Structure 1
């Protein structure tokens, strides 16, 4: 599915820019970064990751899962991941004034570092959950309903500019990794698992899928 291929490519870029963002914030706290680059990072996450990437996920892919594959919108993976979009957008709004402001006080630098850590960790785990569970499983269920392609749209000027600006940021602030963050595939790695989502099988599987699972398990 071309849309999902595009979304996964965008995940790869967002993943790298998150690492660059963490490098930038660390450098800013140490007085070694250009404060004006903060606004460029804010624009990337707002315009490209939010208005372009998350918007198409919700308006096209999530919508198709609900309307075409008849999967629940009020609970389960679609609900949980859409909720994370809104949650992370709120965290970004909290960070943006600090990123766009001039010199920060010690308290403001500490707050920015804490917000950046929370935001990046959440988005990294969100990407892992979508890549490993929602995209492949969602595409499979749409295919069962005869849906093999979904509509897409081009970037707006602001979205394209934000994406283009990321290239320079990646060069200036090489991506760093968060050694304290555990990443991986599957529902158990998702922040929502056990909280707002019981997991793919519990939320999406039909009685037939459970019967097939138990039959396979019994034959092994």
Structure 2
């Protein structure tokens, strides 16, 4: 499914720019980064990751899962992922003013680093959950309903510029991984599991799927 392939490709860049963001924040706190680049990071995550990537996930992929595959949008995986989109968007808006200027106080430095860590940890794990569970399981259910392709749209000028800036920032701030973050595949690794979602089996499986699972375990 071309849209799913495109979304997964976009995840690769988003993950990398998250690593660059962490490098930028550390340098900004130390007085060794240009605050202009903070505006570029904020634009990348707002325009490209938010307005382009998340918009198509929710408006096309999730909408098809609700209307074509008749999956619930008010609970389970779709609700959990959309809730995280909104939550992370709030953290980004809170962080943006701090990204765009040199920290004026120790409190600002501590707050910026805490926000950058929380945002990057959440988005990295969010991407893991989408790649390992939501995309393959959602695509499989659409296939069962006869949906082989989903519509897509090109980037607008602001989204395209933000993507280009994100790629350029990778060269200025080579991305790092956070060794303190545990990542992995599956529902049990998703931060929404047990909070806003009980896992795709509990939320999405039909009686026939549970019966088939029982037959396989006999």
Bin the TM-score by the shorter chain: over 0.9
2:28 alignment counterpart: 28
> Which whole-Å CA distance do the structure 2 matches of 1:215 and 1:204 have between them?
19
The DSSP-based 3-state class of the residue aligned with 1:36 is: helix
- Structure 1 gap segments, 5+ residues each: none
Q: CA offsets, 1:90-125, max 9 Å, x none?
A: 000001111123453221111110000000000000
**1:166 Cα deviation after fit:** 1.1
Structural mapping, 1:180-195, within 5 Å: 180-195=180-195
Distance 2:181 2:203 in 1: 27
Asked if the contact 1:22–1:176 (Cα under 8 Å) also holds between the matched residues in 2, the reply is: yes
Counterparts of 1:65-144 in structure 2, within 5 Å, are: 65-144=65-144
Q: For the residues of structure 1 that align with 2:177 and 2:146, how far apart are their CA atoms?
A: 40
The alignment yields a C-alpha RMSD, in angstroms, of 0.8
Alignment partner, residue 51 of structure 2:
51
Paired position in structure 2 for 1:161 = 161
> Following the alignment from structure 1 to structure 2, what is the Cα–Cα distance between the partners of residues 103 and 80?
33
How far is the alpha carbon of 1:31 from its aligned partner?
Answer: 1.4
CA distance in 2, matches of 1:103, 1:88: 22
Q: 1:173 matched to which residue of 2? A: 173
Mapped contact 2:31–2:102 kept (Cα < 8 A)? no
Cα pair 2:25 2:99 within 8 Å, conserved:
no
Q: Secondary structure at the match of 1:147?
A: coil
Matched-pair contact (CA < 8 Å) for 1:121–1:181: yes
* Unpaired segments ≥5 residues, structure 2: none
2:13/2:167 contact within 8 Å kept: no
> How far apart in 1 are the matches of 2:156 and 2:68?
27
Contact 2:36 2:100 in 1 (8 A): yes
